[in-house]
A and B are shown apart, each in its own frame.
Chain A
Amino acid sequence: MLDINKIRKDFPILNRKVNGKPLVYFDNAATSQTPQQVIDVIVDYYSNYNANIHRGVHALSQEATDKYEAARHTVQNHFNAKHPYEIILTAGTTESINLVAHGFASILEKGDEVIVSALEHHSNIVPWQMLCEKTGAILKVIPMNLDGELVMDSYTELLSDKTKLVFVNHISNALGTVNPIEKIIEQAHKVGAAVLIDGAQACPHIKPDVQALDVDFYVASAHKICGPTGVGMLYGKEEWLTKLPPYQGGGEMIDQVSFEKTTYAGLPHKFEAGTPNICGGIAFGAALDYMNAIGFDAIEAYEKELLDYGTEKLLEIEGLKIYGTSKNKTSVISFNLEGIHPYDVGTLLDKMGIAVRTGHHCAQPIMAFFNIPGTVRASFAFYNTKEEIDALVAGVKKAKMMLS
């Protein structure tokens, strides 16, 4: 059982007012808020041991290096990776995906096939399209049904010995659907294809175990898990990370440099060129510590409660339709009011201090599937309350009245 009042005190931003009203923050799927414990780590870093890492002989550099590498271990433990060097700290999910896509450009051959799902965020579509353009590989798409679930029979049919890679998000950002990634991974491996799972939307809600999943690549961003923006992770199996070429050239990622030849550093540094987001990485570790101290089982159970409550209350509004009705979904409710543009609803909710996301959620193919310009998306985190959901429901009712 979560002590919500105590948890809410950890988040200073939840006390602020927007447009004169107490903030109701329901845009957690875009960015989660930051607890004081993580803010303190950021302040402490810049106040006490800001220095470049891995190279300095002085005390500050050593301290910063120790903390940064400790954060890598925290990420490793959280995702249950076998080795710390299988965790690459990146600028975020998008960079992690691009790093892998870049690496596969030298592996894929013309006529190879890669599979994505119809539920993807643009960041898990575009890098692969670019990769296919470059290599002559063919992009195939797992279709979805009206509940916003992937059609697994079609997936099985798409798989063949030509399939080299499969990319699916763990949870859809636009609809909240939890995809059956265990089955997806298992079936892909049967044909010898590698699998990348985009966990950006999953990690705020569940704790993935990359070894149990037997996944080849898993990516996530810190800013959706109570951490800062501009930092994220790529987990890759050692064999894959060894096989992929470096992503960017620069300092830190080298072993020996001469103008004739450069040899690259070992893992993970081979993929971490230049000075990384040191403070961000350390704060990422602190954010995972914070979330784990609360406990993902408790978080999941409470968010389910919020989802059920919100779904029930919102559906009481006549003419409100929810997109993404899978039984297996996280605390994201994507909806529209009949005949009303989501932008109008979002604009009026903002005037009432309620932050939701409106638009296509960087998932235009999903919107095209439902033939809508976008949705209003309310996404709940463990620090949200039923009272806030009541405020949302009242706000939507008011918006409907004003717009009808």
Chain B
Amino acid sequence: MQSIQEIQDEIIDEFSMFEDWEERYQYMIDLGKDLPLIDDQFKTEDNIIKGCQSKVWVHAEMDDNKISFTADSDAIITKGIIAILIRAFSNQHPKDILDANTDFIDAIGLKEHLSPTRANGLVSMIKQIKMYAIAYQTQVK
């Protein structure tokens, strides 16, 4: 299994191949389109993270001491970034999720999307991922 750090390095490598913002955003848009949607039963008010502009839904489950995340958004670029975050944090041990940082988002040129004032729900989503990790950590066997 790859560690969070290894996955993040891999993502940075992939993004370094893009020459301009268009390629970078086209890639994210395509990721957004490919993101497996969250199961409808989890697309509830409880699972919604309200940004001012785009909505994000996150659902987490733990199996074999690893948390898996599924998520969705009504905006496709937000969804693309979610796909990247899920790739980095899903199927990982709660403690590793808690210890991980999100600096790689800067490295791939998407820092602006994680500004707390961006109102797209992503900052809250990362917070939510960490909250799930804290909650599930207590259930690790």
Q: Mark B63-86, 1 if CB is under 8 A from A, else 0.
A: 000000000001111100000000
Q: Mark A146-175, 1 if CB is under 8 A from B, else 0.
A: 000000000000000000000000000000
Within the complex, the shortest CB–CB distance from A338 to chain B, in Å, comes to 14
A344 touches B75 (CB 8 A): yes
Cβ < 8 Å to A, chain B residues 102-141: 119-120
Say yes or no for B53: interface residue by CB 8 A criterion.
yes
A182→B31 CA distance, assembly (Å) = 53
A343→B52 CA distance, assembly (Å) = 10
A381→B111 CA distance, assembly (Å) = 31
Q: Mark A324-358, 1 if CB is under 8 A from B, else 0.
A: 00000000000000001111100110010000001
Inter-chain contacts of A359 with B (CB < 8 A) = 52-53, 119
Q: Which of A340, A344, A360, A374 has the most CB of B within 10 A?
A: A344
Say yes or no for A19: interface residue by CB 8 A criterion.
yes
A359→B121 CA distance, assembly (Å) = 13
B25 touches A348 (CB 8 A): yes
Q: Mark A215-255, 1 if CB is under 8 A from B, else 0.
A: 00000000000000000000000000000000000000000
Interface size counted on chain A using CB atoms at 8 A: 16
Q: Which of A347, A348, A351 has the most CB of B within 10 A?
A: A347
Say yes or no for B54: interface residue by CB 8 A criterion.
yes
A19→B20 CA distance, assembly (Å) = 11
Say yes or no for B46: interface residue by CB 8 A criterion.
no
A402 touches B54 (CB 8 A): no
Q: Among A19, A343, A348, A351, which residue has its beta carbon within 8 angstroms of that of B54?
A: A343
Q: Taking A351-B25, A358-B53 as contacts, is the C-beta distance between A403 and B74 under 8 angstroms?
A: no
A184→B8 CA distance, assembly (Å) = 60
B77 touches A344 (CB 8 A): yes
A373 touches B21 (CB 8 A): no
Closest A residue to B76 by beta carbon equals: A344
B29 touches A402 (CB 8 A): yes
A341 touches B25 (CB 8 A): no
Cβ < 8 Å to A, chain B residues 5-30: 21-22, 25-26, 29
B54 touches A341 (CB 8 A): yes
Inter-chain contacts of B78 with A (CB < 8 A) = 343-344
Inter-chain contacts of A343 with B (CB < 8 A) = 53-54, 75, 77-78, 120
Q: Taking A359-B52, A359-B119, A374-B53 as contacts, is the C-beta distance between A341 and B22 under 8 angstroms?
A: no
Closest A residue to B80 by beta carbon equals: A344
Closest A residue to B55 by beta carbon equals: A373
Q: Taking A359-B119, A402-B25 as contacts, is the C-beta distance between A347 and B52 under 8 angstroms?
A: no
B75 touches A341 (CB 8 A): yes
Cβ < 8 Å to B, chain A residues 365-385: 373-374
Inter-chain contacts of A341 with B (CB < 8 A) = 54, 74-76
A402→B55 CA distance, assembly (Å) = 21
Inter-chain contacts of A358 with B (CB < 8 A) = 53
Q: Taking A341-B75, A344-B76 as contacts, is the C-beta distance between A402 and B53 under 8 angstroms?
A: no
A374→B74 CA distance, assembly (Å) = 11
A19→B24 CA distance, assembly (Å) = 14
Q: Taking A343-B75, A343-B120 as contacts, is the C-beta distance between A373 and B53 under 8 angstroms?
A: yes
Closest B residue to A359 by beta carbon equals: B53
A358→B54 CA distance, assembly (Å) = 10
A374→B51 CA distance, assembly (Å) = 13
Inter-chain contacts of B53 with A (CB < 8 A) = 342-343, 358-360, 373-374
Within the complex, the shortest CB–CB distance from A145 to chain B, in Å, comes to 26
Closest B residue to A346 by beta carbon equals: B53
A344→B77 CA distance, assembly (Å) = 6
Within the complex, the shortest CB–CB distance from B79 to chain A, in Å, comes to 9
A340→B25 CA distance, assembly (Å) = 15
Inter-chain contacts of B21 with A (CB < 8 A) = 19, 351
A340→B32 CA distance, assembly (Å) = 13
Inter-chain contacts of B119 with A (CB < 8 A) = 359
Inter-chain contacts of A360 with B (CB < 8 A) = 52-53
A342→B77 CA distance, assembly (Å) = 11
Inter-chain contacts of A403 with B (CB < 8 A) = 29, 76
Cβ < 8 Å to A, chain B residues 25-71: 25-26, 29, 52-55
A-B contact pairs, 23 of them (CB 8 A): A340-B76, A341-B74, A341-B75, A341-B76, A342-B53, A343-B53, A343-B54, A343-B77, A343-B120, A344-B76, A344-B77, A344-B78, A347-B77, A358-B53, A373-B53, A373-B54, A373-B55, A373-B74, A402-B22, A402-B25, A402-B26, A402-B29, A403-B76
Given contact pairs A344-B76, A359-B52, A403-B29, enumerate 18 new A-B contacts (beta carbons under 8 Å). A341-B54, A341-B74, A341-B76, A342-B53, A343-B53, A343-B75, A343-B77, A343-B78, A343-B120, A344-B77, A347-B25, A348-B25, A358-B53, A359-B53, A360-B53, A402-B22, A402-B26, A403-B76
